Amino acid sequence: MFLMKEALSLLNGVIPIWKEKNMTSHDVVFKLRKILKQKRIGHTGTLDPQVEGVLLVCLGEATKLVELLMDGEKTYVGEVTLGYATETEDRYGEIVATKAVTTMINPTVIDEAMKTFKGWITQVPPYYSAVKVNGKRLYEYARENQTVERPERQVYINSFERIADIDYDEKKQTQCWKFQVSCGKGTYVRTLAVDLGEKLGYPAHMSELTRMATGGFNSDQSITIEELQEAVNNNRVESVIFPIEEVLSGFPRIILSDVAYADVKHGKVLADDYFEAGNPLHEMTVLCYRDKAIALYQVHPSKEHLIKPYRMFISNINE
């Protein structure tokens, strides 16, 4: 058992966890620390407790990739409901506005309205969010019934489409439909649903949400916490961890010689054509030694013709 604990403490890589409802993202990290006997664990973007879906958990040296993975595209499936709005912009908050949908809105009208949200759009974060204003999170203002000017933000929507037939409830005088959205960092899907409702002339809220993909990983690649525990119990935990090399497979790669490794492992600033004379490195590149990623180098932000580390993964390799 001691050997197993020692091995688990050295894990480096990413596990796509399927976070279930009624769990916080912090709950997931806490459970994985206990299961893997490893403290150095982080996640790449909070999911609300009521939202299930893909949560990337980074282990060891891969925690240095959290920021990079958070910048990646995310895909959600959800549901928008017209007819009433809530204080939290989802179905769990108190109702703050109502307007009966007396006649079903034509699907074509809805589809055309959704198309207008493609590309760069401006959002105002919801009050029930972790965005800070004057050193205080918005949800703290909301709980104290205080108002404050919320900062606008620019977010990118790659696609926003209806994926099912419309459900019109004549008795409740509400209308809802399923959607899929692919979006960039910082997008509030709840706010997207509310803004769509406003464009259609009705108060609205996001009535369901599931994150299907994030940071290059999707639901098919995810495992539950119970499945991870089973893998640990059966001594096959490494089979469910994506190594750093695979996580960074979308970047150019350079295999280092022994001489180059001696320079890179110390995080040296190098000439941009250090690896190939006359062919300067011009984009973020993974540097590998003995089949292990040891660094991610980038063009120096302030000095011409030089490159420097973006992240170092030296403990990813056993010398």
- Would residue 48 show up in a list of annotated catalytic residues for this protein? yes
Question: How many Cβ atoms are within 10 Å of 117's Cβ, its own excluded?
Answer: 18
CB 126 within 8 A of CB 188: yes
CB 222 within 8 A of CB 18: yes
Q: DSSP characters for 221-282? A: G-B-HHHHHHHHHTT-GGGG-B-HHHHTTTS-EEEPPHHHHHHHTTT--EETTSSSTT----
What does the DSSP 8-state code read for residue 306? E
Write the CA distances from 47 to 53, 127, 296, integer angstroms: 8, 16, 28
Write the CA distances from 241 to 231, 232, 268, integer angstroms: 10, 11, 30
Catalytic residue (one of 27, 48, 167, 195): 48
Contacts of 137 (CB under 8 A, 6+ apart): 129, 130, 131
Separation CA 58–CA 5 (nearest Å) = 18
Write the CA distances from 164 to 91, 111, 210, 319, integer angstroms: 20, 11, 15, 54
Q: Which residues pair with 123 in a beta bridge?
A: 153
Q: Which helix (H) or strand (E) holds 47?
A: none
Q: Which residues are known to be catalytic?
A: 48
